[in-house]
Amino acid sequence: MENPLVKNNSRTYLITVIVIMGLSFFLLLYFLFDTNVEISILDSLITSLFFALISLSLWYPTNYISLDNYSLEKVILNNILIAIVATSLWLYLSYLIVTTIFHEYEEFFLYTSIWRFTIGLLLFIISIILNYVIIYYNNFTEKVLSESNFNALITEAELKSLKYQINPHFLFNALNSISSLTISNPEKAQEMSINLSDFLRKTLSGNDIKKISLKEEIESIELYLKIEKVRFEKRLEFNLDITEECKDILIPNMILQPLIENAIKHGVYESSERVEITLSCRRKENIVEIKISNNYDPSAVSNIGEGIGLSNINRRLKLIYQRTNLVSITKLDNIFSVLLLIPIDDSAIKDFSNE
């Protein structure tokens, strides 16, 4: 593990500590012991530089004698020993250098060696404790970070698993209609194959984590309905009732498409009468209300499963907006409606797009 004290962001901190230490040493020598200025500066400079060097290297034993691997008593005992060795080394090295430069200073240095040792030991112990705090703090932030990364990954994976998937039967039936039209009405066949391609391009390239404007979502719904209308003709009617201010509101990609498909599946597939699908949208302060409703044949007991469509949408909205109760269903007078509440406030929106 890299010593954080030599990393860029800790460098200023290290320099400050050494300067403070050197300065206080200087003041002590100069005022308390009446040492002359040059000697005071040199002494405090050398001792503090050695201190910095030795305390930096203590980072490695601290890492080695970690609280995870050793008992508390062992850690304390080892570190006291290390501190004593470090202080002795520091004192001896300072003594060697200082007395080599000023021979006459030797007596005074030895005279002050007791308090030098005491202060040094104390400072080394503090610096060791500081190392432990830094290690603990680093581990803690790393853990929090990896945990939140992990959660984001899970959410993203779940969103991907809830991704809209094109119904293969829709595709095969549409292709069958095209196949039929190539004989009876080639022009219409061409138009339908282009519509189908446009729809496929939109859904296959679509990123479900991204948000798109309601206008764009409606464009792909209209493509889809154009194709279904060729198949079902008069049995399918689509009404759009949205206000201008709704058009640019951002919604999760492909969130309405499955609801339209549900309406067709339970409305048009199960009824030989005309089925009207209505998409309406109203803005209410910080919420957009999007409603999709269709009439259905009450006598038809569906043999088609309820489908995972609705619960998927519920789950997706919950993951994206971190809110519940955004989807509600009503059945009234043979009209089935799904109401979606989409929060507009962008700060409440968790954006999972990778861009």
Residue from 3, 113, 173, 207 touching another protein (CB under 8 A): that is 173
Is residue 190 near another protein by the rule CB under 8 A? no
Phi and psi at 335, nearest 5°, equal: -120, 125
Rg (CA), the chain: 37
- Binding residue (CB under 8 A) for another protein from 29, 58, 178, 209: 178
Q: Which is nearer to another protein, 234 or 284 (CB)?
A: 234
Question: Is 331 a binder of another protein (CB under 8 A)?
Answer: no
Q: How far is the CB of 177 from another protein (least distance, A)?
A: 4
- Is residue 179 a contact point for another protein (CB under 8 A)? yes
Residue of 9, 71, 184, 324 interacting with another protein (CB under 8 A): 184
Specify the stretch interacting with another protein by CB under 8 A; choose among 36-44, 219-227, 280-288, 300-308: 300-308
Q: Shortest Cβ distance from residue 200 to another protein (Å)?
A: 16
232 lines the binding site for another protein (CB under 8 A) = yes
- C-alpha–C-alpha distance, residues 174 and 197, integer Å: 11
- Which letter does DSSP use for residue 342 in this model? E
Interaction of residue 180 with another protein, rule CB under 8 A: yes
Query: Does residue 305 interact with another protein by CB under 8 A?
Result: yes
Strand pairing category for 287-295 and 335-343: antiparallel
Instruction: Determine phi and psi for 316, rounding to 5 degrees.
Output: -60, -45
Which stretch in 16-24, 67-75, 117-125, 172-180 sits in contact with another protein by CB under 8 A? Answer: 172-180
From CA 78, how far away is CA 43, in angstroms rounded?
30
Closest separation in Å from C-beta 174 to another protein: 9
User: What six digits make up the tokens of 279?
Assistant: 């998409």
DSSP structure class, residue 8: H
According to the binding rule CB under 8 A, does residue 246 interact with another protein? no
Q: Does 270 bind another protein (CB under 8 A)?
A: yes
Residues 6+ apart with CB under 8 A from 289: 281, 282, 283, 339, 340, 341
Quickly count helices (H) and strands (E) in the chain: 11, 7
Among 23, 175, 240, 308, binds another protein (CB under 8 A): 175
- CB-based contacts of 241, cutoff 8 Å, min separation 6: 278, 279, 280, 281
Say if residue 58 is exposed, middle or buried (CB neighbours under 10 Å; 0-12, 13-18, 19+): buried
166 binds another protein (CB under 8 A): no
DSSP structural state of residue 216: H
Q: CB-wise, 112 or 180, nearer to another protein? A: 180
When asked if residue 297 is in the footprint of another protein (CB under 8 A), the reply is yes
Smallest separation (angstroms) from another protein to the CB of 272: 5
Work out the angle at residue 274's Cα, subtended by the Cα atoms of residues 269 and 279, and round it to the nearest 5 degrees. 85
Q: Does 177 bind another protein (CB under 8 A)?
A: yes
Q: How many CA atoms lie within 13 A of 341 on its CB side?
A: 16
**Shortest Å, Cβ 231 to another protein:** 5
* Candidate ranges 63-71, 123-131, 236-244, 297-305; the one touching another protein (CB under 8 A): 297-305
- Minimal distance in Å, beta carbon 304 to another protein? 8
CB atoms within 10 A of CB 30: 17
Type of residue at 111: Y
Tell me which of 12, 303, 324, 325 binds another protein, using CB under 8 A.
303
277 CB neighbour count, 10 Å cutoff: 23
Instruction: List the 275-284 sheet strands across, edge first.
Output: 236-242, 275-284, 287-295, 335-343, 327-332
Q: Pick from 1, 72, 114, 301 the residue near another protein by CB under 8 A.
A: 301
Cα gap 44→22, rounded to integer Å: 5
**What is residue 182's three-state secondary structure?**
helix
Among 9, 71, 299, 325, binds another protein (CB under 8 A): 299
Q: Please select the residue that binds another protein; options are 24, 139, 190, 302, rule is CB under 8 A.
A: 302
Q: By rule CB under 8 A, what count of residues binds another protein?
A: 29
Give the binding site for another protein (CB under 8 A): 168-169, 172-173, 175-181, 183-184, 230-233, 268-272, 297, 299-303, 305
